Amino acid sequence: MINVTQTYLPPLEQYEKYLKELWENRWVTNNGKFVQQLEADIKKYLGVKHFFFCTNGTVVLQMAIKALQLKGKIITTPFSYVATVNSILWEECEPVFVDVKASDCCINDALIEQQITPDTSAILATHVYGNPCNVEAIKKIADKYNLKVIYDGAHAFGTTLNGKQLLSYGDVSTCSFHATKLFHTIEGGGIMTNDDVVARQLYLFRQFGHVYDEYFSVGINAKNSEFHAAMGLCLLPEVEKFIEKRKLVADWYAEELKGLNIQIPHSSLNIRYNHAYHPVIFESEKKLLAVMEGLKTENIFARRYFYPSLNSLPFVKKISCPVSEDISSRVLSLPLFYEITREEVELISSVIKKILN
């Protein structure tokens, strides 16, 4: 069976070294040594001033909205995982969808201004598949209208833009470290900012709003454990190796699927891409469904990522986003993970070619 992704695990003995220390010192949570070390290492890797290791990629979005004291309407993308819009709704704000660009599936910055009203407080955009939003254009809009900018960078770890880590942009950026991601901590998420005031609030939010016996604000429990941090410490030094292999796999797919009537989302900006996913856009939903069925007969499981377009969910205010609606019906993420083989890529590609030719 070939799944759309497969969790990478380090050599067991490498992880056991951390477990041995945990068994000896019994400090397994509450901002322990490994959490602090991972935060320091990721801050250095990303080139950011503040970074907090948290429980998952959804809670950090909620913390970002709360820390920036957002109210009213938040402009966002319809082409993302449901956690993006759920976080806005959970914090009792209103998502206002702006359609995406067909080239990279990221929010269309040229359409943002027409959706801004006096009730708009922020832009929350997703770096889709690890491809960057047009951060410079979005910053100009945000500065013009005094809006905050949050980037959902769940897929963006390791992508650079103009030589700078993509997750360093925005008032706040967030990331997911779920087991399916390029870099993971089994379960986990991260939130980063260069603003000292916002960072202080994020620090308090993560631990119930207090430090020892002194209480400063409302808070939640968003702390992560030493066990999760230990996994991150095992994998962080391997990130560049992961990206290199994923690029190789993408090259295999490009070679095998050359000439077919499919599109691959891509960025025209100056990036080093992390190859977080390998999405392909078919000419019709009918072709997509036929490919999925054909792959399943070979025990190969791709994923409709993202589907459906979030503006079509039953619990949101409907706004027409024709590009997102169209692409979400035709896009499929093919299997991509560190240990996938050339032979497996050839098998996947042969099924697709047989159906499309």
pLDDT digit string, tens, across residues 256-315: 999 999 999 999 999 999 999 999 999 999 999 999 999 999 999 999 999 999 999 999
Low-confidence ranges of the chain (pLDDT < 70): none
Q: Residue 244 contacts by C-beta under 8 Å, 6 or more apart in sequence?
A: none
Which part of the chain has CATH 3.40.640.10?
2-237
CATH architecture of 239-356: Alpha-Beta Complex (3.90)
Q: Which CATH class, in words, describes the domain spanning 2-237?
A: alpha beta
Find out whether 17 and 166 touch, Cβ atoms under 8 Å: no
In 106-116, which positions are buried (b, 16+ CB within 10 angstroms) versus exposed (e)? bbbbebbeebb
Pairing mode of beta strands 160-161, 148-152: unpaired
Q: Provide Rg for the chain, Cα atoms.
A: 21
Angle, CA 98 vertex, CA 122 and CA 74 arms, to 5°: 20
Per-residue model confidence (pLDDT) at position 229: 98
Task: State residue 114's pLDDT score.
Answer: 97
SS3 314: coil
Q: What is the pTM of this model?
A: 0.97
Domain with CATH 3.90.1150.10 in the chain: 239-356
**Rounded to whole angstroms, what are the CA distances from 263 to 51, 191, 282, 283, 302?**
36, 32, 7, 8, 16
CB 80 within 8 A of CB 128: yes
Task: Give 235-252 pLDDT, tens digit per residue.
Answer: 999 999 999 999 999 999
Q: Residue 353's pLDDT is what? A: 98
Residue-level pLDDT at 96: 98
CA proximity to 80, closest of 129, 33, 32: 129
- For residue 324, the model assigns a pLDDT of 98
- Strand segments, DSSP code E, in 82-138 are 94-97, 120-126
Q: Note the pLDDT of residue 112.
A: 98
